[in-house]
Structure 1
Amino acid sequence: MKLEEIRSLSRLMQETGLSVLDLKENGTHLRLERAFSEKAPLPATSKEFDVAAPISAQPQEKAEKSALKISPAPEGTPLKAPMVGVFYNAPSPDAKPFVSVGDFVKKGDTLCVIEAMKLFNEISAEKDGKVLEICVRNGQVVEYGQTLFYIG
C-alpha cells in the first residue's frame, strides 16, 4: 500500500469520525486507530462510503501534515479497557459523568461503565491521581486493551 493511500484513509477517518479502520488487501494488513479526547470535535452527520471504491489521493498538504502529526502521550498512566463493549461515561443518559478531565480520583473510584452482552461493567481507577485525558467518546465501541483514560 502506498503512503498516499494511507494518508487518504487517515483523512477519511478524520472526516467521518471513525476511530478504527482495519483493512486487509492483497496479503497486506493495515490497522489505523484514532484516540478521542473531550476537546476533539465530532462530525455532525454520518456519511456512507463504498469500501470497494478505488482510493483517490487528493493532494492537500495542510490536511496531510495534520493527519500524520504524532502528538506525545500524556505523562500519566493509561487505563485500558479490560473487555470489548460500549463505553459510557455516566450511569444513565441524563446523569452527570462519573469523571471529567481534571478531576482527582482515588483507587477504586468508578470512572465509567462498559456494556458487554447487556451487562454494565463498572471500570474503576487502579490508582489515586488526576484524570489527565479521556480518550474515548460516550457511546463509542471500545476494544480490549484500548486506552480509555490517562491518570497522573
Structure 2
Amino acid sequence: MLKIQELRELIKLVDQSNIDEFSYEHDGSKIKMKKHKEASTETVIRQKADEFQMAPVVKEVIQPVLSNVPSEPQAKKIEVVEEAPVSEKLHKIVSPMVGTFYASPSPDAENYVKTGDKVKTDTVVCIVEAMKLFNEIEAEVNGEIVEVLVENGQLVEYGQPLFLVK
C-alpha cells in the first residue's frame, strides 16, 4: 500500500500531466485516477487482504489542491475504498513447492475438488508437479472449499495459496 505522501505526489503528478486517466496495480492494491474537464481528480484504492472475501468500506477525503490556474485553489475529491475481510476463519491450502498446479489426476479426469466441496484432512485437493514428480496435495483440514485461487496448468510458487477452506 502506498504511503499518504506517495499518494499525494502521485495525484500531483497526474494533475500536472496531460493524461486524463491513470491506473496502477501492485501486490493486490489498485489505484485508478481520472481527471475530469473541471480539473478534479478521483482516486480509488482497493487493497486485497490476504485473498479473503472482501466487503468494501468507503471513506471520503476532501483535500484542497491548486489547479493549473495559479490563483484559483480548487478542492479535489478523493474516494478511498479499503476492502475488509468478511471472514477471518478461512484456512489457506498453500503450495509446498514451486511447480505446476493440476486440478485433476489426468487431462480427461474430473477435478479433485471444486468450490463447495467438503474436504477432510486426508482429501487430495490437487497435484503440484515439480521436475517430473507429481505430488498429491492434501487439504490438511476439515471443511468446505470456498474458493480455488489458481488455474489448471498454472505455475505456482512455494507458499502460494491454492484454495480457501471454511
Q: TM-score range by the shorter chain?
A: 0.5 to 0.7
Answering whether residue 122 of structure 2 is matched by residue 108 of structure 1, we say yes
Answering whether residue 116 of structure 2 is matched by residue 131 of structure 1, we say no
Instruction: Choose between structure 1 and 2: higher helix proportion.
Output: 1
Q: TM-score, normalised by structure 1?
A: 0.58
SS in 2 for 1:145: coil
Structure 2, unmatched stretches of 5+, are 15-21, 37-42, 49-53, 55-84
SS in 1 for 2:108: coil
- Which residue in the other structure is 2:134 paired with? 120
Quickly say closer, same or farther: Cα 1:93–1:146, change in 2 above 3 A.
Answer: same
Instruction: Indicate conservation of the 8 Å contact 2:128/2:136, yes or no.
Output: yes
Give the distance between the partners of 1:69 and 1:116, measured in 2 at CA.
32
- Which residue in the other structure is 1:32 paired with? 27
Q: Match of 1:94, as an amino acid? A: D
Answering whether residue 129 of structure 2 is matched by residue 151 of structure 1, we say no
Structure 1, unmatched stretches of 5+, are 11-30, 35-56
Matches within 5 A, 1:10-89: 10=25, 32=27, 59=34, 65=44, 68-70=46-48, 71=54, 72=85, 74=87, 75-89=89-103
Quickly say closer, same or farther: Cα 1:9–1:93, change in 2 above 3 A.
Answer: farther
Q: Deviations over 1:24-53 (max 9, x none)?
A: xxxxxxx6369xxxxxxxxxxxxxxxxxxx
Give the distance between the partners of 1:109 and 1:127, measured in 2 at CA.
9
Q: Compare CA radii of gyration and give the structure with the larger one.
A: 2
Instruction: Choose between structure 1 and 2: higher strand proportion.
Output: 2
The structure showing larger relative contact order (alpha-carbon pairs under 8 Å, at least 6 residues apart) is 1
Identity of aligned residues (%): 42
RMSD over aligned Cα atoms = 3.1
Give the distance between the partners of 2:35 and 2:107, measured in 1 at CA.
39
Q: How many residues align?
A: 107
Q: Match of 1:133, as an amino acid? A: E
Give the distance between the partners of 2:24 and 2:133, measured in 1 at CA.
34
Quickly say closer, same or farther: Cα 1:139–1:60, change in 2 above 3 A.
Answer: farther
Q: Deviations over 1:98-123 (max 9, x none)?
A: 00110001111100000101111000
